């Protein structure tokens, strides 16, 4: 039985890693009928319970925005409707539910962290060394939430003490603070978190090097905002080096395993959210499995077949879902597909491709692993037109199968556990309804190394830039391929490494800090489309496209998805040098009209541990 760590609320799995604390330690939280905070926070277990929601439930409503902003806006992922990208083409973007819920969730993380720390200080009799460990976890999650907010909306109110603000009646009268001050606040909070956090923590929880890794990334963004400031870029490199020398410094040897159960406790995973197999309560599940997966793959509910991996991301990997060399009806696999259950990929191919997207005639050993594939003589999942009859390519009778109808011919792989049998094999428990224990990795070491490479590049240190870049590309299996470092290459490489990890849109935002014209041109050149055979506006059908991959009537890109211009409401530029900002949710602007006003400097004197010389 595979093992699973849950820092969630709800029913847990029975199989646990032997060295770990009990499952209940991760699942517990304060009971809803707890009479007063005075009675809580009396033991270390209760401190842990107070922080546990920051690893799961607090982030629930951000999950869809994590992909919608990080990947859909970046050009990795296409969606037919109800997404931020299409709503930004209109004047009603502020009413978009995904945007509204995402902004609310990020602020909820901040509030939950602040209140937990306030209560720990007020009511816990435990030694400061114990209390500070959990305050450090809360600080890191709060800083991470602000990091998402500043990259999506720019200016926002800094809230360090929710109890104080509520007491003063200022909850709906908060003034925005400047982007620069928000970055300084994030850095200050993370430095204090690093001071409090242990060298190593319980598996699945953040530690000192999680804070260092996030500091490296934050300093890169802040350095770009400040015109490639050398001191700030040096700080990014300093913190990356600390991660490199730690137990987190070695990358997971098999890239694809990061996005299976192994990724949850891999040393490469620096910040991870953990989810439960039950949706009681509902916010304890990972809904990305449902949104990205497809109905025939999972018996318990998924609807991702309406969406697709864009042509642009396929092009970045040098692949085509309708490759004429992949013959319809021939029982073969693509040369760059997985070879076996160890997730091996033939030499000379990018191992990240099959871990990121599924293409026609791919073999995926961790989906439907209990089912035989007669055509290949092995168990697992074989991508064909009629996926239920992979050995026959049946074109009419689909009673025992389901149709591969992703509108570009390519589907996401990351974040998807597969069938019920797959979930049991991976996590040792049965998913309930739409539940999934698939972890969400919000920061990993390879990301930090790419940030360090870019920081060195901006400083003109090409030796260090290539050193960090080569670590990542060597693991990917493309270490011998020549490359030239420039910003387009960095954006492309980060998409190859981090697609469907909710991050790539922010790379464009960072690029816009230093060169908004080039960042905008990059977006305009993307093929964000489906194919004409797809369900989104096409007149053809997928089976005909697989059978006739050179027929332009089926495989040409749709023209209604690729933007020819970028409306000001989509990616607006502001005088301060920011770009690619999203509108505030209408509900929040109505509640606090100051969000529509000018930003002010933050009064750091109210933050007792702030030291400008340490920024």
| Cross-strand bridge partners of residue 440 | 273
Share of the chain above pLDDT 90, in %: 60
The pLDDT value given to residue 441: 97
pLDDT of residue 481: 94
CB < 8 Å & 24+ apart, contacts of 503-506: 503/70, 503/447, 504/70, 504/71, 504/74, 504/75, 504/76, 505/69, 505/70, 505/71, 505/73, 505/74, 505/580, 506/70, 506/151, 506/152, 506/221
Q: Region 51-55: what's the mean pLDDT?
A: 96
Contact 450, 300 (CB under 8 A): no
Q: How confident is the model at residue 80 (pLDDT cuts 50, 70, 90)?
A: low
pLDDT digits (tens, 9 = 90+) for 119-154: 999 999 999 999 999 999 999 999 999 999 999 999
Q: How confident is the model at residue 199 (pLDDT cuts 50, 70, 90)?
A: very high
Predicted confidence at residue 220, as pLDDT, reads 98
Q: Quickly state the pLDDT bin for 562 (edges 50, 70, 90).
A: very low
Instruction: Tell me what pLDDT residue 6 has.
Output: 34
Token reading at 318: 């040098």
Q: Is the dihedral of CA 389, 394, 397, 401 positive or negative?
A: positive
* Residue-wise pLDDT tens digits, 478-503: 999 999 999 999 999 999 999 999 99
Report d(CA 121, CA 460) in Å as an integer.
46
Which residues, 6 or more positions from 126, have their beta carbon under 8 angstroms from its beta carbon?
41, 42, 43, 44, 47
Asked if residue 5 has pLDDT above 60, the reply is no
The 3-state secondary structure of 297-350 reads CCCCCCCHHHCEECHHHHHHCCCCCCCCCCCCCCCCCCCCCECCCCCCECCCCC
| 168-172, 389-393, 446-450 — most confident range | 446-450
Among positive and negative, which fits the CA dihedral 425, 431, 433, 436? negative
pLDDT higher than 80, residue 192: yes
578: pLDDT confidence band, cut at 50, 70 and 90? Answer: very low
Nearest to 507, CA basis, from 525, 521, 495: 495
Average pLDDT, the chain: 84
Q: The pTM is what?
A: 0.91
pLDDT of residue 71: 94
The pLDDT, as a whole number, for residue 395 is 38
**In this predicted model, what pLDDT tens digit does every residue of 440-476 receive, in sequence order?**
999 999 999 999 999 999 999 999 999 999 999 999 9
In percent, the amount of the chain with pLDDT more than 70 equals: 83
pLDDT, tens digit, for every residue of 6-27?
332 222 222 222 222 222 333 4
For the ranges 249-253, 337-341, 555-559, which has the lowest average pLDDT? 555-559
The predicted pLDDT at position 540 comes to 53
What is the pLDDT at residue 566?
A: 37
What was the pLDDT predicted at 91? 63
**Mean predicted confidence (pLDDT) in 569-587:** 58
For the stretch 426-438, pLDDT in tens is 999 988 877 889 9
**pLDDT-wise least confident of 168-172, 295-299, 593-597:** 295-299
Token digits for 208? 């000192």
Examine the pLDDT at 38 and tell me if it is beyond 60: yes
């Amino acid at each position: 039985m595979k093992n699973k760590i849950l820092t969630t609320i709800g029913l847990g799995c029975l199989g646990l890693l032997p060295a770990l604390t009990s499952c209940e330690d991760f699942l517990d939280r304060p009971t809803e009928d707890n009479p007063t905070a005075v009675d809580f926070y009396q033991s270390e277990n209760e401190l842990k319970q107070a922080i546990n929601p920051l690893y799961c439930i607090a982030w629930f409503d951000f999950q869809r925005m994590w992909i919608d902003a990080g990947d859909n806006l970046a050009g990795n992922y296409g969606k037919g409707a109800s997404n931020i990208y299409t709503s930004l083409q209109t004047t009603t973007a502020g009413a978009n539910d995904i945007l509204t819920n995402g902004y609310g969730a990020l602020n909820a993380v901040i509030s939950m962290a602040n209140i937990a720390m306030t209560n720990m200080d007020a009511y816990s009799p435990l030694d400061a060394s114990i209390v500070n460990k959990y305050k450090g976890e809360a600080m890191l999650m709060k800083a991470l939430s602000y990091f998402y907010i500043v990259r999506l909306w720019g200016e926002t109110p800094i809230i360090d003490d929710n109890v104080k603000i509520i007491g003063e009646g200022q909850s709906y009268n908060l003034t925005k603070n400047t982007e620069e001050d928000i970055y300084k606040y994030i850095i200050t909070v993370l430095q204090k978190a690093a001071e409090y956090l242990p060298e190593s923590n319980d598996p699945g929880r953040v530690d000192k090097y999680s804070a260092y890794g996030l500091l490296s990334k934050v300093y890169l963004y802040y350095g770009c905002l400040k015109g490639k400031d050398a001191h700030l870029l040096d700080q990014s490199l300093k913190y990356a080096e600390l991660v490199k020398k730690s137990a987190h410094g070695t990358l997971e040897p098999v890239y694809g395993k990061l996005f299976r159960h192994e990724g949850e406790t891999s040393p490469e995973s620096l910040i991870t959210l953990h989810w439960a197999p039950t949706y009681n309560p509902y916010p304890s599940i990972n809904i990305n499995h449902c949104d990205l997966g497809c109905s025939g793959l999972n018996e318990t509910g998924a609807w991702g077949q309406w969406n697709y991996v864009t042509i642009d991301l396929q092009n970045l990997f040098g692949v085509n879902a309708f490759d004429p060399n992949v013959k319809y009806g021939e029982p073969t696999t693509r040369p760059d597909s997985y070879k076996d259950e160890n997730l091996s990929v033939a030499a000379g191919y990018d191992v990240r491709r099959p871990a990121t997207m599924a293409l026609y005639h791919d073999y995926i050993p961790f989906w439907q692993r209990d089912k035989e594939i007669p055509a290949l003589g092995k168990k697992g999942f074989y991508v064909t037109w009629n996926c239920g009859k992979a050995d026959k390519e049946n074109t009419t009778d689909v009673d025992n199968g389901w149709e591969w109808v992703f509108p570009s011919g390519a589907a996401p792989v990351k974040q998807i556990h597969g069938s019920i049998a797959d979930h049991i094999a991976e996590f040792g428990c049965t998913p309930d309804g739409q539940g999934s224990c698939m972890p969400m990795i919000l920061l990993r070491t390879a990301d930090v190394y790419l940030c360090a490479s870019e920081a060195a590049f901006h400083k003109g240190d090409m030796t260090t830039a290539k050193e960090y870049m080569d670590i990542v590309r060597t693991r990917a299996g493309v270490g011998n391929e020549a490359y030239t470092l420039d910003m387009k290459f960095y954006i492309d490489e980060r998409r190859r490494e981090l697609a469907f990890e909710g991050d790539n849109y922010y790379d464009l935002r960072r690029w816009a800090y230093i060169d908004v014209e080039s960042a905008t041109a990059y977006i305009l050149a993307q093929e964000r489309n489906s194919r004409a055979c797809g369900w989104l506006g096409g007149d053809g059908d997928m089976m005909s496209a697989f059978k006739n991959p050179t027929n332009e009537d089926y495989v040409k890109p749709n023209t209604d998805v690729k933007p020819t211009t970028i409306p000001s409401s989509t990616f607006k530029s502001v005088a301060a040098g920011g770009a690619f900002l999203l509108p505030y949710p209408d509900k929040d602007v109505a509640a606090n009209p100051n969000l529509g006003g000018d930003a002010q400097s933050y009064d750091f004197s109210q933050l007792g541990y702030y030291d400008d010389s340490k920024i």
